Amino acid sequence: MATRVIIVRHGQSTYNAERKIQGRCDKSVLTDKGISDAQQVGEALSGLKIDAFYCSPLQRAKQTAETIHSYLSNPPTLEPSEQLMEIDLPLWEEMKKDEVMAKFADDYQQWKTEPQDFKMLVEGKEHYPVRALYQQAQEFWQRAIANNRGKTILITAHNGINRCLIMSAIGMSVDRYHSIQQSNCCISILNFTGNFGEPVQLESLNQTSHLGIAIPSVRPPHSGPRLLLVRHGETNWNKESRFQGIRDIPLNDNGRSQGRKAANFLKDVAIDFAVSSSMMRPKETAEIILEQHQGVELSTTSELIEICHGLWEGMLEKEIQAEYADLLQQWKDKPETVQMPEGENLQQVWDRGVSAWNKIVTEHSDTPKTGLVVAHDAINKVIICYLLGLKPDNFWNIKQGNCCVSVIDYPQGASGQPVLQAINLTAHLSDGSIIDKTAAGAL
């Protein structure tokens, strides 16, 4: 039985509002907005059974946790943990960001571009803040997961430690520290299959719809594109858990309904261009979304079509189990090693999917435009793995529900590192639920 972990960043603090570096300084408290947002998180989580609740002892996180705690039914005791403290930046704490950028220009540049090697000299000793925080996150997981197997854990902490918790869980390296975003009072969800070190699924990253914010706003300066990566709506074969691959199966009625819900979710987001897989199900999904964005032309590419399952296509999992039991288990355990019978392997899908993605980014590299990209489960997973610095063997670490939305920014254009602002947003499909309730289905 999986262990579900819900991770929340604290609400807006006084130092957040003043654009000051907080680190482990404990002078900052929640603003009125921070308290209000924490209440909305509490409402969003109120229907869930929480078995363990950990928080940072710093007052901005503890106050957020206490607010959430008051909304829960039969909540567990709130347990502050030193291992959830924020990143330790002693030389920068209480300074405004622009002051740090001016006074520590070279260090700040390294902090942004090479966080794993960024260091401070503290009391004559070299201190590597990001490396230390990553190790701190690993130590927290080893204890928390072992003590709560098969339960639901809630964590309320900070931007930096939350990033390292997510990164260390799914296998991202420490140099990708700035590649994922954590907004104030956002919700992210991880599903652990076993102990720490065993496979973990990132169900969602940086949900903000419970705060009335569909997707995180673009953060200046921003000279490159924003891409909205969407998986197609449900098909009958998804619903039946029938492997479809490159069979050109259309959306079913529920899939079209999901498309309309995604369209409504994105209706206030300015979309400047759109690309989809050339197959029917993503193309129709894109067309439904673009009904809310008149004048935007849709282009298609065969590089974004789904993985070819070969002889498995059209088969139910139980039928594949009967004929290809060992290979099916291998697909579940080590997907990067599987050559589909008369089909593709993951590296082939990775190569063409990443190629298509990079072409889109390069074509719109120097414009702060927003593009819609609609494709498939496997394609979206390999693209997100690539963007997170992961490999094909991390394929199952990423979840993509039907008509989910992921948000990727390129603040410095195609030549700069992408920022995953949000992954697998599905609240628009399930009456605001933070849990992905789309059908599991087959690829």
Q: Are 406 and 382 in contact (CB under 8 A)?
A: no
Residue from 87, 148, 151, 157 nearest 120 by CA: 87
State pLDDT tens for residues 108-124: 999 999 999 999 999 89
Torsion over CA: 314, 316, 317, 318 (sign): negative
> What's the angle, vertex CA 203, arms to CA 430 and CA 220, rounded to 5?
90
Q: What amino acid is encoded at 155 in this protein?
A: I
Tokens of 267: 């209706």
Distance CA 319, CA 212 (A): 44
State pLDDT tens for residues 15-66: 999 999 999 999 999 999 999 999 999 999 999 999 999 999 999 999 999 9
Q: What amino acid is encoded at 324 in this protein?
A: Y
Distance CA 225, CA 40 (A): 31
Residue 440: per-residue pLDDT? 63
Residue 441: per-residue pLDDT? 59
Query: Do 3-211 and 226-429 share a fold?
Result: yes
Distance CA 349, CA 347 (A): 5
Number of Cβ within a 10 Å radius of residue 412 = 17
Three-state DSSP class for 185?
coil
**Domain ranges across the chain:** 3-211, 226-429
Q: Are 200 and 188 in contact (CB under 8 A)?
A: no
Name the percent of the chain in helix, strand, coil, to the closest 5.
40, 20, 40
Tokens of 117: 């090697």
CA distances from 153 to 147, 150, 188, 227, 405 (A): 10, 9, 12, 32, 25
Alpha helices of 29-84 — where are they, by DSSP H? 32-45, 59-69
> With left for phi above 0 and alpha for psi between -120 and 50, is residue 66 left, alpha or beta?
alpha
Residue 415: per-residue pLDDT? 87
Contacts of 106 (CB under 8 A, 6+ apart): none
**HSE-CB for 275 with a 13 A CA cutoff:** 20
State pLDDT tens for residues 124-152: 999 999 999 999 999 999 999 999 999 99
Residue 135: per-residue pLDDT? 98
**What residue has token string 């924020």?**
86
Contacts of 102 (CB under 8 A, 6+ apart): none
Tokens of 233: 């709506």
Tokens of 199: 């496979």
Where does 3-211 sit in CATH, by number? 3.40.50.1240
Q: What amino acid is encoded at 51 in this protein?
A: D
State pLDDT tens for residues 67-108: 999 999 999 999 999 999 999 999 999 999 999 999 999 999
Helix axes 129-147, 159-170, angle to 10 degrees: 70
> What's the angle, vertex CA 267, arms to CA 265 and CA 268, rounded to 5?
105
Helix axes 253-265, 280-290, angle to 10 degrees: 40
State pLDDT tens for residues 237-267: 999 999 999 999 999 999 999 999 999 999 9
In the predicted structure, residue 344 carries a pLDDT above the cut 90:
yes
Contacts of 212 (CB under 8 A, 6+ apart): 40
The separation between CA 383 and the C-alpha centre of its own chain, rounded to angstroms, equals 12
Residue 366: per-residue pLDDT? 79
Q: What is the mean predicted confidence (pLDDT) over 174-187?
A: 98
**HSE-CB for 12 with a 13 A CA cutoff:** 12
Tokens of 390: 């992961």
Select the highest-mean-pLDDT range: 145-149, 220-224, 367-371. 145-149
Residue 392: is the preceding peptide bond cis (ω within 30°)?
no
Helix axes 32-45, 59-69, angle to 10 degrees: 40
Q: What is the mean predicted confidence (pLDDT) over 347-370?
A: 95
Distance CA 300, CA 359 (A): 13
In the predicted structure, residue 439 carries a pLDDT above the cut 80:
no
pLDDT band at 442 (very low <50, low <70, confident <90, very high): low
Options 3.40.50.12280, 1.10.3720.10, 3.40.50.970, 3.40.50.1240; CATH of 226-429: 3.40.50.1240
